């Protein structure tokens, strides 16, 4: 019997595997008849070879130009449908909300959450947890004066911190994270943390590191090929950080159970435990500790990250565009004087309101939104998209839609102003996404952004550190688009 040379045998084996994969892919593609078009995938790797793995949204924006508002890409052996442009995204998320209302099952998040929580959960679990979360957030003041007072209180602590630098350069990332996080912490835990609390600082550090690591190419590859999970890399660090966060959260449960008063709930955790007690006899209850742990972590991360990052972008852009900063301050002086800003003032401060909206649009913090999945078979704009297909909503293409924004690549507050200087709502302004999966904390985030931003501009003028002549607005790599590391000078007015 003839035995080939080992190298030849290996080559033959590889060619055989490639051939089989090609055949399998071909058979799989039979079920994707009338599927959205896209770049031709290679065996095994799909379209990974054409992707900017550190900034995949840039690749998707380029493909949008080539293939139009509905196209497909393949990551490994998994197909994705990409929805781009305001018209298509709105049609999918609003008019076809049921079909596009699921979340994609992403390996790293499945490993971390096991399908629990609110942000990335599915089916009935998601419905129950979302309903509970929104109801409880409203009960504890979301959108009301009670939570507005908490924001104003936190503004005072933040102003004191900025004043302590006496106009000298400092990094504002951790203090902004802490100030914004304390709002959701007050609702979830029923208390605030001191800005210097070591445990609090550690939690924020874990979240920041995790969001940076999620953008590493090895994490994208792990999601495409979970079999490589045994390899060392950022994916393991993300999961380790999540375990530490969860350990802190679950470690607090005993305290809340000990002081639980069903007639006087002072936090979301206590409200959850009351529901848990009510459903003790229900073996299929969703009110169990795993869901509570994930809901608390979801709210902590979401309640801190996007708002604090938007505010940091705001200060950075005010340093880059001092004329815009001056106009905001003039409007603050005219409308408020030295009075404390409240959310109701936004209607009489059109320029400030426009600037805040433009900060969110320009910063484009979640360019690919959070991942969707088709809950049913969908016939959409002439294409057939099977149930269980992963869907990427390219929010960057919506916030840069030339049909709705005159200068989409520039920071231009006039996008939200009419010829008379009045504030104008833009239907393509969707930083919180839309439809069934719209951000549950949108109302809270809008209130935080207006009060924090206005209070800071009322008290300080933001300037570049000595020797720095320009501001780099290139975003850092991460799951969310944060500013590059930088220093600011907050000069008291």
CA pseudo-torsion sign 35, 43, 114, 442 = negative
Q: Which residues contact 149 (CB under 8 A, 6 or more apart)?
A: none
What letter would DSSP give residue 44?
A: T
For residues 93 and 434, the answer to whether their CB atoms sit within 8 Å is yes
Strand ranges in 415-459 using DSSP code E only, listed in sequence order: none
Phi, psi of 378 (to 5 degrees): -130, 130
DSSP 62-125: HHHHHH-SEEEEEETTEEEEEEESHHHHHIIIIITTTTT-EEP--HHHHHHHTT-SSSS--HHH
Q: What's the Cα-to-Cα distance from 260 to each of 138, 182, 193, 270, rounded to whole Å?
A: 20, 22, 21, 6
390-394 vs 78-84, strand pairing mode: parallel
Q: List the beta bridge partners of residue 394.
A: 84
- The torsion defined by the Cα of 481, 482, 483 and 489, in degrees rounded to 10, comes to 150
Alpha helices in 343-394, H assignment, sequence order: 350-363
155 is in an annotated binding site: no
CA dist., res. 348 & res. 326, Å (int): 17
Identify the CA nearest to 62 among candidates 412, 464, 337, 394: 394
Q: What's the Cα-to-Cα distance from 463 to each of 80, 196, 460, 474, rounded to whole Å?
A: 44, 25, 9, 18
DSSP 205-234: HHHHHHHHHTTSHHHHHHHH-GGGGGS-SH
CA dist., res. 23 & res. 29, Å (int): 10
Q: What's the Cα-to-Cα distance from 151 to each of 186, 256, 270, 425, rounded to whole Å?
A: 10, 24, 22, 25
Which residues carry a binding-site annotation for heme? Answer: 439
Residue numbering of the annotated binding site: 439
């Amino acid at each position: 019997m003839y035995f080939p040379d080992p190298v030849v045998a290996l080559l033959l084996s590889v060619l055989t595997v490639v051939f089989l994969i090609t055949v399998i892919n071909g058979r799989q593609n039979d079920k994707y008849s009338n599927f959205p078009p896209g770049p031709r995938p290679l065996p095994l790797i799909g379209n990974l070879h054409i992707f900017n793995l550190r900034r995949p949204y840039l690749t998707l924006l380029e493909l949008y130009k080539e293939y139009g508002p509905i196209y497909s890409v393949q990551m490994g052996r998994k197909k994705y449908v990409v929805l781009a442009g305001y018209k298509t995204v709105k049609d999918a998320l609003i008019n076809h909300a049921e079909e596009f209302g699921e979340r994609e099952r992403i390996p790293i998040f499945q490993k971390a959450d096991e399908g629990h929580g609110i942000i990335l959960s599915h089916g009935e679990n998601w419905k129950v947890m979302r309903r509970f979360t929104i109801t409880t957030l409203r009960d504890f003041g979301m959108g009301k004066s009670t939570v507005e007072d908490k924001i104003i209180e936190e503004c005072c602590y933040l102003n004191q911190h900025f004043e302590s630098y006496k106009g000298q350069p400092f990094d504002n990332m951790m203090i902004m994270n802490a100030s914004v996080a304390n709002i959701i912490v007050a609702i979830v835990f029923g208390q605030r943390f001191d800005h210097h609390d070591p445990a609090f600082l550690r939690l924020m550090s874990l979240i920041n590191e995790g969001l940076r690591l999620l953008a590493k190419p090895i994490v994208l590859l792990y999601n495409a090929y979970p079999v490589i999970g045994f390899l060392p890399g950022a994916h393991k660090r993300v999961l380790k950080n999540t375990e530490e966060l969860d350990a802190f959260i679950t470690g607090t449960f005993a305290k809340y159970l000990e002081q639980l008063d069903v007639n006087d709930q002072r936090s979301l955790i206590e409200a959850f435990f009351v529901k848990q007690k009510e459903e003790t006899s229900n073996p299929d209850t969703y009110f169990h500790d795993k869901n509570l742990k994930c809901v608390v972590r979801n709210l902590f991360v979401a309640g801190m990250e996007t708002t604090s990052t938007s505010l940091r972008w705001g200060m950075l852009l005010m340093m880059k565009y001092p004329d815009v900063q001056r106009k905001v301050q003039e409007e603050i002086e005219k409308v408020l004087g030295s009075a404390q800003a409240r959310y109701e003032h936004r209607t009489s401060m059109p320029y400030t309101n426009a600037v805040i909206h433009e900060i969110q649009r320009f910063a484009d913090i979640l360019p690919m939104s959070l991942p969707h999945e088709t809950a049913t078979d969908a016939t959409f704009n002439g294409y057939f998209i099977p149930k269980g297909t992963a869907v990427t909503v390219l929010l960057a293409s919506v916030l840069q839609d030339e049909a709705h924004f005159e200068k989409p690549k520039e920071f231009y507050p006039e996008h939200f102003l009419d010829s008379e200087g009045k504030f104008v709502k833009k239907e393509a302004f969707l930083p919180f996404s839309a439809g069934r999966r719209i951000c549950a904390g949108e109302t809270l985030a809008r209130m935080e952004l207006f009060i924090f931003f206005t209070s800071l501009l009322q008290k300080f003028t933001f300037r570049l550190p000595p020797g720095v002549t320009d501001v780099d607005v290139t975003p850092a790599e991460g799951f969310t688009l944060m500013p590059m590391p930088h220093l600011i000078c907050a000069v008291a007015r």
